[in-house]
Chain A
């Protein structure tokens, strides 16, 4: 169970906004940090893992909680 260090609430935002949010924030955090992006746009399920692949970051996984779907991303580079 990953405990995210930070939550980015992107609910109500349409892609590419949730991806932009994680792209802005992640590089400001130390390597190893996990950020959770809450995003209800279905495109986020495709685009956040794709962004991680393109940027060499780690996609930890998708969680479904009371706040809707969340996507955990770990800064690895």
Chain B
């Protein structure tokens, strides 16, 4: 029990990037005033906010006035969906979304349906890839206000055909909202969207900062009570020190993204190959090629997901799971369900800039024994 802990849950929250930490500490001293006020301190805060917006917009390749900071990725996704629906209510009341959206998008969809609207879920295949024909048909149907597609699955890593899905939306005159929370800071942002969202703690920024980008010309209307801040898109004062840290760290990770992807993707390949070879009765899920560079998911037959997380935690490994017993609702992950893959004994491993090959190796060395022990305890060996 002397080995140091190994954090493998970057898809939930990446460790704070040193640049974020530095910028956060500096901005705590310098950026606490309200940027909207008319005195020297406020002007300083305004400068910091403007600079953060410009740097972030530049990294994303968007205009600064298209970008608003939100209190996180969830809030950004809610705004993207509900604001897209509100802005196009005259065109119709249907929301089209993939079956594997983040719960933030699905909860916004539920709200829309509860308010009398319609939501159409488009299926994915066994690898978690969008059904392109079903998507094109769904967005071309009458009455579609907005469509939502996750850029890459936060649960299984499969990258979605955003450009193609966006082209189908454009042909139908439907704006596309893309949840790029797992992509921003790791892969180039795909083309084809009208509304884009992201979350800073996925790239090493602080928690509680999200990005909402609404392309010029997109019909989008704030679903929240009126507020002037952030171009009227996000109510409330922004957490300026966190925003400054998010912007600084995004610039740093974007500069390193290609090299990081090239370093992490082979580690993910290694996990995929060795888990499949060395753990009996395991299903490694998600697209093996069109995938995020840092994330891999697998399910172990006859193993209780919660027991597996605890056993790994006891050995110092922090991972995530989509198994029903690990969720507060006691339902399996809707993503695994939509793909039709085994949902129990599920583990998601996600790597980050501090992850070393030695840590991955230790995880791979210990995992087969952890699973064998759990199976022995449950009396399911040889089934």
Interface residues of A (CB under 8 A from B): 14-16, 19-20, 23-24, 41-43, 45-47, 49-51, 54
Contacts and interface: CB of A to CB of B under 8 A. Distances in A.
Contact of B383 (A15, A24, A41, A42): A24
A41 B331 CA distance: 8
Interface in B369-383: 378, 380, 383
Given A19-B302, A54-B301, A47 B342 contact: yes
A19 B344 contact: yes
Given A15-B325, A19-B302, A42-B332, A49 B283 contact: no
Interface in B319-343: 323-325, 330-332, 336-337, 340-343
A14 B299 CA distance: 16
Contacts of B330: 14, 41-42
15 contacts: A14-B304, A15-B344, A16-B304, A23-B302, A23-B380, A41-B330, A42-B330, A43-B343, A45-B337, A46-B337, A49-B340, A50-B299, A50-B340, A51-B301, A54-B283
Contact of A20 (B332, B341, B380): B380
A20 B382 CA distance: 11
Interface of B: 281, 283, 299, 301-304, 323-325, 330-332, 336-337, 340-345, 378, 380, 383
Contacts of A15: 323-325, 332, 343-344
A51 B336 CA distance: 14
B344 A16 contact: yes
B283 A50 contact: yes
Contacts of A50: 283, 299, 340-343
Nearest to B325: A14
A47 B336 CA distance: 10
A19 B340 CA distance: 15
B345 A16 contact: yes
Contacts, number: 64
Given A15-B344, A20-B378, 11 more contacts: A14-B324, A19-B344, A20-B383, A41-B330, A43-B324, A43-B331, A45-B337, A49-B340, A50-B343, A54-B281, A54-B342
B103 to A, nearest CB: 16
Given A15-B324, A20-B378, A24-B383, A46 B302 contact: no
Contacts of B378: 20
Contacts of A20: 302, 378, 380, 383
Contacts of A14: 304, 324-325, 330
A69 B380 CA distance: 24
Given A16-B302, A51-B342, A54-B281, A43 B380 contact: no
Contacts of B383: 20, 23-24
A41 B329 CA distance: 12
Nearest to B380: A20
Nearest to B383: A23
A17 to B, nearest CB: 9
B76 to A, nearest CB: 29
A46 B342 contact: yes
A14 B327 CA distance: 13
A54 B340 CA distance: 12
Contacts of A23: 302, 380, 383
A59 to B, nearest CB: 10
Contacts of B337: 45-46
B338 to A, nearest CB: 9
Contacts of B301: 16, 19, 51, 54
B344 A47 contact: yes
Contacts of B324: 14-15, 41-43
Given A14-B324, A23-B380, A43 B281 contact: no
Contacts of B380: 20, 23
Given A15-B332, A20-B302, A24-B383, A46 B343 contact: yes
Contacts of A51: 301, 342
A70 B302 CA distance: 19
Contacts of B342: 46-47, 50-51, 54
B268 to A, nearest CB: 22
